[in-house]
Every structure is written in structure tokens, then in C-alpha cells.
Amino acid sequence: MNRIYLFLALACLFVACQPAGPSWTFDKSIDIKGIAPIGIVAEGDHFWISDGDNKRLLKVTMDGKIVVEEKDFERPMHIAADGGKVFIPSFGDDNIIEYKDGNRIIVPMKDSLDAPAGVDVQGKEMAIADFYNHRILYSNGTDWLNIGKEGNGDLEFYYPTDVQMVGDKIYVADAYNNRIQIIDKKGGHVKNMGREEKMNAATGIYVDNEDIYITDYEHDRVLVYNNKGELTAEINENLAKPTDLIVYQDQLFIINYKSQSISVFKK
Amino acid sequence: MKKIKYSIGLIILFFFAGINMSHAQKAKKEKDNYTVMVDGLGCPFCAYGLEKKFKELKGVKGVQIDMETGQFDFTFPAESPLTVEEVENQVDAAGYTAVSTTIIRADGTVLKSEEKIKTLDESALVTEEVYVFGNCGMCKARIHKAGNSMESVASVDWNMDTKMLKVTYDSSKTTIGEIEEKMAAVGHDTKNEKTASDVYEALPGCCKYEREN
């Protein structure tokens, strides 16, 4: 009898130790051969995907068909979409490009960037991951705030690659510190998470109301955390060098640089 | 008559000037082709970063990077040629490891990085394994290059998962201790040898393994 109790106790302990987050089940893989995807956003019934190797911005249907091809971007990275426009961090020539209906405008900056790797735009606000300057730039539409410096402490970054603004916070894929760092829009530090999982290049980030998703490029996985910084799920099925992800229409879309595909998961 | 002579003179002048200009333009347009085999281009951010750092050299054009093979191609104006050493130093400065370099000059001359011939005493060859700290493909490239650069080392193979370096060396010329010293000198701690802090700090971000106290 004691053995049964012991077994039950161990079973409960095992279950309790399992990540208790959103349970995503692999649904399908969308083939996007010929595209080396770095960033993805969704708008209406299509995706916008940046194709870093081929220097393109692509409008792609939900089944992977290219319907718009815009060439000659200088290594477009983690893009953002807002108000019918797409914003492209141009890693190779240090610009943020605003794109709409075939027209391109360079977003004026007061400070010079060195390889912008990620951008998020919401109305007048903009946040930028400034890769080689190891910092985050934030604008409220009027003023620019320069946040962080090179390093691995709080408010220090090491090659940040992606950003997302949620409320008064900015979530950063602090790529080569192998962690997520959360800061506020006044330049204060909020929280770090993910170091325990020993990621190797935390490249792409997505945040919804409850969960924080990060791609772990070298380990072919996506990690999911709650707002407390607790790991709630690890997704490693059918991924090959994931670079970015989004949750859209109750599905999780993860782009794979190596296999040139989009892995789709359902709850 | 004077007018005719004057006109002929001008025509001859323009003719030779035209030839000289076309030579000058041709010289300006001529380009050397460079191919570097680079180890450690693990992710697109690394690859685009290498490209960006090379583009700081004004005149670099036609950059192509194959991440699968690590082949990095570009052209540079023939009038200001880069040496093999300058190219490999620029790769190193960007944080990567140049395995070999081939330059084809505009005039057809081919230059290659030196390949050292090692003379080893086969009867003294020993194979050992030693723990070497590191993280990624770039670490592996650096560790392999450091090992292979030792004249008394026959072969090296570092396992990224186990961190064990399998090394075959001529025991009449070197020791496992010297090999560990070499690893530490390029940024990788072993159980017995520690890297200088400034060397460790200069490693690319993905290579910054967790150090033991």
C-alpha cells in the first residue's frame, strides 16, 4: 500500500513539474521554398515575410503563395505592420523603411543606427532593436529615448534582434545574452527571463496577453513563458532554425530559416 | 591651311585622350575576386554581420554568402588589392574564423592562403580527449583552427554536445598541456587552463560559454 502512495505522490510531483502553459499541437507545415524567412507579421488573410538572404519583402498567402514581391531591401529583418504599412529594419544600410503599396520612405531618425534587427510600431510609437549598438531605441512619436548599452546585466544588451511593445513595456529578444529582457518605456528595467533554459540566440519574440514566446535558433525550439517569467511550454516539433513567430487567429505560426517553411500549431 | 592643321591636331589629341580615358576607366572597373571559406556562420545574423563589416571596406561589391558551406565571395577594385592576410584579419575582426582564402586578381593571378606541411613522427602519435569549454559552431571553428595551427597536432575534433576535444598529436614534440594552453589562448577554458578575461570578453556573444570559477 505504501508503494502505491509513493507511486501516486511521484506521479503528482511529475505532473506538477511539467510546464503548464498553452498546449500547442503541430498541425501542418507550409512550404515557402525559395524564401529564407527572418521576420513575419500577419494582416488580414495574408502574411508579410522578410526574406533576408534574397533581400525581399514578400506578401504571402496563408498557404505559402507569393502575391507581392518587393526587391532590393538591404537584409530586411524582424518587420512590423501597423495601419496598413509595413516597417522594415534594413540591417545592411542602417535604416527603418516604411512601406505601403509599393512606396518606400526612410523613417527619419535623430540618431544613427548600426544594423537594426527588429522594429515594432504602434500608432506614433516605435521601438527598434539596434543590433551592433547593443541598445533599444524608443520613440513616443515626439522624442527618442536611447535605452541600454553593451553587457549582460540589467538594462544591458548583447546583440538584440527583436522587440515588441505591450502596454507600457517593451519586450526584447536579447539574442546573444540568450534571454528575454523586459524594459519600460521610460527606460527602466522590469525583468529578465529565460537564462535557465540556456538558449543559443534568442532571435524572435512575440507577446500576447498572457504569454511570451521566444525562438531559440540553434536549439530548434520555441519557449513559452508566463508574465512571472516561468517556463510554461517548450515547442520543438518540426522546427529547423526558427527565426520569428506570431499567434494569429488562434494559431501559432513559426517561420523556419533552414527548412524554408512555416510550422503551424493549434491549441 | 592653318585651320585644317589645327583641326587634325585636335582630332589626334582627342583620339589619344580617348584611348587613355578608356584605359583609365577599364582599370577602375577591373575587380579582383575573393573567396573565403568561413567557419562559424551559424545564423543569418552572423552572415549578414560579416557582410556588413566587409562593406565597411569601401569598394566591396557582389557579396554572396552560402551559409551551408561557409563560402563567402566578394569583389574588390583591382587598383587597391587586398592581401590574403588583410582579408583573413577582417574576417577575424568581425568575430569569425577564416579557414582558407583564394584571391583571383583581375590579371588572372591566383593567390591562396598558405597550407602548412607537417612532419610528424607517426610512432609517437597519441590520441587523447580533453574538456574544452565552448558553445556553438563558431567555437568549434576557432578550436579546430587553433589545434590545427599547431605543427605537432595531426588532427582535432571537438564535440559541441559533450565539449570533448579529441586530439591526435606527436608526443615527441608537444604535450596535452600545451594543447590546452593553446585553447585557452584563443578564448576557450579547459579544466586546467583559463583564458585571460580580455580574450574571453572579446569572443562573439554566442561563444560566451558559462565559465567555472
Pick the last residue of a domain from B58, B89, B112: B112
pLDDT at B10 over 60: no
Rg (CA), chain A: 19
Would you state the pLDDT for residue B57?
Answer: 86
Is the domain of B167 the same as that of B137? Answer: yes
Which CATH number goes with the domain that contains A245?
A: 2.120.10.30
Would the CB atoms of B52 and A175 count as touching at under 8 Å? no
Nearest to B136 among A53, A158, A218 (CB): A218
Q: Write the residue in B45, B205, B208 that is nearest to A117 by C-beta.
A: B45
> In this predicted structure, what is the pLDDT of residue A89?
98
- B108 and B146 share one domain: no
Given an 8 Å threshold on Cβ–Cβ distance, is B43 in contact with A201?
A: yes
pLDDT digit string (tens) for B26-44? 545 699 999 998 877 778 8
- How many contacts, defined by CB atoms under 8 Å, are there between A and B? 51
- Give a yes or no: residue B22 inside a domain: no
Which of A80-84, A146-150, B12-16, B145-149 shows the lowest mean pLDDT across its residues?
Answer: B12-16
ipTM of the complex as predicted: 0.80
The pLDDT of residue B100 is 87
Collapsed DSSP state (helix, strand, coil) of residue A178 = coil
Q: Do the domain assignments include residue A4? A: no
In this structure, the answer to whether residues B77 and B127 fall within a common structural domain is no
- Percentage of chain A with pLDDT > 90? 84
pLDDT at A19 over 60: no
Q: Answer whether residue B5 is part of any domain.
A: no
CB contact under 8 A, B206 and A132: no
Q: Any alpha helices (H) in A199-258, and if so which ranges?
A: none
- Nearest CA to A29 among A221, A254, A250? A254
**Contact yes or no for A241 and B43 at CB 8 A:** yes
Indicate the helix (H) or strand (E) that contains B74.
strand B71-77
* Whether A257 and B135 lie within 8 Å, measured CB to CB: no
Contact list, B94 vs chain A (CB under 8 Å): none
Lowest-pLDDT range, A125-139, A151-165, B96-110?
B96-110
For residue A111, is it within any domain?
yes
Q: Which positions in chain A touch B204 (Cβ < 8 Å)?
A: 176
Question: How does the average pLDDT of chain B come out, rounded?
Answer: 84
Write out pLDDT tens, residues A94-136.
999 999 999 999 999 888 999 999 999 999 999 999 998 999 9
φ, ψ of residue A80 to 5 degrees: the values are -135, 155
Q: Is residue B16 part of a domain?
A: no
C-alpha cell at B61: 561589391
pLDDT higher than threshold 50 for residue A16: no
Do the Cβ atoms of A242 and A217 come closer than 8 Å?
yes
pLDDT value for B66: 82
Give the residue-averaged pLDDT of B48-75.
86
The band of B94, judged by pLDDT with boundaries at 50, 70 and 90, is confident
Say yes or no: B132 and B197 in one domain.
Answer: yes
In a domain, A151, yes or no: yes
Lowest mean pLDDT among A42-51, A93-102, B21-30, B58-67: B21-30
Residue of B nearest to A74 (CA): B48
- What's the helix, strand, coil split of chain B in %, to 5? 40, 25, 35
Contact flag A203-B43 (C-beta cutoff 8 Å): yes
Over pLDDT 70: what percentage of chain A? Answer: 92
Residue A5 falls inside a structural domain = no
Q: What is the pLDDT of residue A230?
A: 96
Q: A149-150 and A156-157: which strand pairing?
A: parallel
Find, in chain B, the residue whose alpha carbon is nearest to that of A90. B48
Chain A hits for B135, CB-CB cut-off 8 Å, are 200
Q: Which three cell numbers stand for residue A14?
A: 511529475
In this structure, of A230-239, A249-258, B22-31, the range with the lowest mean pLDDT score is B22-31
Q: For residue A256, is pLDDT > 90?
A: yes
Print the domain residue range for B98: 30-112
pLDDT of B21 over the 80 cut: no
Q: What is the pLDDT of residue B93?
A: 78
| Residue A218 to residue B43, Cβ atoms within 8 A | yes
Rounded Cα distance, B116 and B107, in Å: 27
pLDDT at A17: 47
With CB atoms and an 8 Å threshold, state whether A176 touches B206. Answer: yes
Q: Are residues B98 and B35 in the same domain?
A: yes
pLDDT band of residue B49 (cuts 50, 70, 90) is confident
CB atoms < 10 A from the CB of B53, how many? 18
pLDDT per position as a tens digit, A176-220: 889 999 999 999 999 999 999 989 889 999 999 889 999 999 899
Q: Do A161 and B204 lie within an 8 Å CB cutoff?
A: no
What is the model's pLDDT at position A25?
Answer: 96
Q: Residues of A with CB below 8 A from B48's CB?
A: 52, 75, 91-92, 115
pLDDT of residue B152: 93
CB contacts of A259 in chain B (<8 Å) are: none
Chain B CB contacts of A95 below 8 Å: none
- Within a domain: A242: yes
Long-range contacts of B143-146 (CB under 8 A, 24+ apart): B143/B183, B143/B186, B143/B188, B144/B39, B145/B39, B145/B97, B145/B99, B145/B186, B146/B182, B146/B183, B146/B185, B146/B186, B146/B188
For residues B91 and B133, state if they share a domain.
Answer: no
Contact A89, A119 (CB under 8 A): yes
Total count of domains within chain A: 1
Give the closest residue to B96 by CA, choosing from B41, B35, B34.
Answer: B41
Of B64, B83, B112, the position where a domain reaches its end is B112
Are residues A115 and B49, on separate chains, in Cβ contact within 8 Å? yes
Statement to judge: residues B99 and B126 lie in one domain? no
pLDDT over 60 (residue A13):
no
Q: How far, in Å, are A48, B51, B160 from residue B137 at the CA level? A: 31, 18, 8
Contacts of B208 in chain A (CB under 8 A): 176
- Minimal Cβ distance to B45: which of A36, A53, A161: A161
- The answer to whether residue B52 sits within a structural domain is yes
Nearest-Cα distance to chain B for A18, in Å, is 25
- Closest approach of B90 to chain A, Cα-based (Å): 17
Q: Are residues B126 and B108 in the same domain?
A: no
Tell me, yes or no, whether A103 lies in a domain: yes
User: Would you say residue A161 lies in a domain?
Assistant: yes
CB-nearest to A200 from B44, B48, B135 is: B135
User: For chain B, what percent of residues have pLDDT higher than 90?
Assistant: 45
Residue of A nearest to B65 (CA): A53
Q: Which three cell numbers stand for residue A143?
A: 522624442
Residue A72's alpha-carbon distances to A50, A53, A90, in angstroms, are 11, 11, 10
Residues B152-161 have a mean pLDDT of 92
Q: What is the CATH number of the domain that holds B40?
A: 3.30.70.100
Q: Which residues of A touch B49 (CB under 8 A)?
A: 115, 131-132
Determine whether the interchain pair A91/B42 forms a contact, defined as Cβ–Cβ distance below 8 Å. Answer: no
Residues of chain B found within 8 Å of residue A257, distances taken between Cβ atoms: 43-44
Tell me whether residue B69 is in a domain: yes
How far is Cα B41 from Cα A74, in angstroms, rounded to an integer? 19
A16 found inside a domain: no
Tell me, yes or no, whether B39 lies in a domain.
yes
Q: Which of A266, A255, A250, A252 is nearest to A64 (CA)?
A: A255
Q: Could you tell me the three cell numbers for A187?
A: 527606460
Residue numbers of the domain that contains A159: 21-266
In the prediction, which pLDDT does A44 show? 93
Q: How many domains does chain B have?
A: 2
Which of B45, B51, B163 has the most A C-beta neighbours within 10 Å, making it the best mutation to test the interface with A? B45
